[in-house]
């Protein structure tokens, strides 16, 4: 029976890495019917809508999406597509596995890094509640609620239990933001009490950042509010080779959207330089979500085999191969 999924190629390098992921998924033999929904900066500017109706209709129909990066203007222009999508579909859990790939040369290549970051996705400073009180004086509201905090904490601890993970670290700044981050921490502590087999600890976000750089191998699951989660996710990606290799998922009660964590990189668009690893590994998460665990394992293993051999890597990770050449190697590894 086929699986129906929405494909949002995005812009910049999005169409290239999305096509690579579609090829890799097809090579697994899983029957996926793609509902293509175009969304890019030009469409948004022309329509005046960050999330066109046809895109939301498609995601409401399929409940599963694979999304390439979409350009977001800086310090002006339209709101981030990701932020809007997460709020509209209530994709409350941002899940980012960060794992060392075999053979890849990094500053931590002799250390086995294997952590999963759970970032609350719907509130905090990303609520977008900003106000210019008087000229050149701006306030921005940090929103933390019990409902959202309990929901992401439960999601992280249940993931730990189901995947034989043994440690959860809640990251916070409750020493300064005693009410907002204090509420987040109370919800984490209350949830941790329901999972006595899982070791729970708390780290202030600045200390956690230092510890990640000094001893990243000691982290297992990280549980964070929205802003800290965004920053720590990129920091952690740098430990294993960069944003080009780290996958991500935005999970809700009724929808799931999988995406690479990197941006649209318009400066290299159309040149065949883009690394599709993050998009392909996001597809591994998609396969797991739709119940195709064997295919997910085979695709993950194929990517790891290509990295271990090191012959067809893209320029951002020290190779000289094109997007297509890397994808060809993954497809061959799948067939082997």
Residues assigned a catalytic role: 126, 173, 206, 230
Instruction: Round to whole Å and give the CA distance between 149 and 224.
Output: 9
- The helix-helix angle for 180-192 and 146-162 (nearest 10°) equals 40
Distance CA 330, CA 321 (A): 13
Q: Is the distance from CB of 54 to CB of 44 less than 8 angstroms?
A: no
Residues 106, 132: Cα–Cα separation, whole Å: 44
Using only the alpha carbons of the chain, give its radius of gyration: 20
Angle between helices 277-289 and 323-335 (to 10 degrees): 40
User: Minimal CA–CA distance to 214: which of 206, 202, 225, 224?
Assistant: 206
Cα–Cα–Cα angle for 13, 252, 25, nearest 5°?
45
Please state, in angstroms and rounded to a whole number, the distance separating the CA atoms of residues 281 and 291. 16
Pairing of strands 199-204, 167-172: parallel
Sign, CA torsion 71/77/81/82: positive
Buried b (16+ CB within 10 A) or exposed e, 15-46: bbbbbbbbbbbebbebebebbebebbbeebee
DSSP-derived secondary structure for 298-333: HHHHHHHHHHHH-SS-BGGGT--B-HHHHHHHHHHH
Q: Are 171 and 208 in contact (CB under 8 A)?
A: yes
């Amino acid at each position: 029976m086929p699986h129906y999924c929405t494909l949002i190629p995005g812009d910049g390098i999005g169409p290239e890495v999305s096509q690579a992921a579609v090829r890799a998924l097809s090579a697994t033999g899983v029957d996926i019917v793609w509902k293509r929904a175009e969304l890019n900066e030009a469409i948004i500017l022309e329509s005046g809508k960050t999330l066109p109706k046809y895109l939301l209709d498609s995601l409401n129909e399929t409940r599963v999406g694979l999304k390439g990066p979409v350009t977001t203007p800086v310090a002006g222009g339209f709101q981030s597509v990701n932020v809007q999508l997460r709020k509209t579909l209530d994709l409350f859990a941002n899940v980012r596995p960060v794992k060392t790939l075999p053979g890849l040369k990094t500053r931590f290549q002799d250390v086995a890094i294997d952590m999963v970051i759970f970032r609350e996705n719907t509130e905090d400073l990303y609520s977008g509640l900003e106000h210019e009180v008087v000229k050149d004086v701006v306030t921005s509201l940090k929103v933390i609620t019990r409902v959202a905090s309990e929901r992401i904490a439960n999601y992280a601890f249940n993931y730990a239990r189901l995947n034989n993970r043994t440690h959860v670290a809640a990251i916070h700044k409750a020493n300064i933001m005693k009410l907002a981050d204090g509420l987040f921490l109370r919800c984490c502590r209350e949830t941790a009490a329901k999972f006595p087999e899982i070791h729970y600890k708390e780290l202030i976000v600045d200390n956690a950042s230092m510890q990640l750089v000094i001893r990243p191998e000691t982290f297992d699951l990280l549980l964070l509010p929205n802003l800290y989660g965004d920053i720590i996710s990129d920091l952690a990606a740098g430990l294993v080779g960069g944003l080009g290799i780290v996958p991500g998922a935005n999970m809700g009660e009724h929808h799931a959207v999988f995406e690479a964590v990197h941006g649209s990189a318009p400066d290299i668009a159309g040149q065949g330089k883009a690394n599709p690893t993050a998009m392909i590994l996001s597809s591994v998460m998609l396969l797991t979500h739709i119940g195709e665990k064997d295919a997910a394992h085979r695709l993950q293993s194929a990517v790891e085999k290509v990295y271990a051999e090191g012959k067809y890597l893209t320029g951002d990770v020290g190779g000289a191969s094109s997007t297509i050449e890397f994808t060809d190697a993954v497809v061959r590894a799948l067939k082997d």
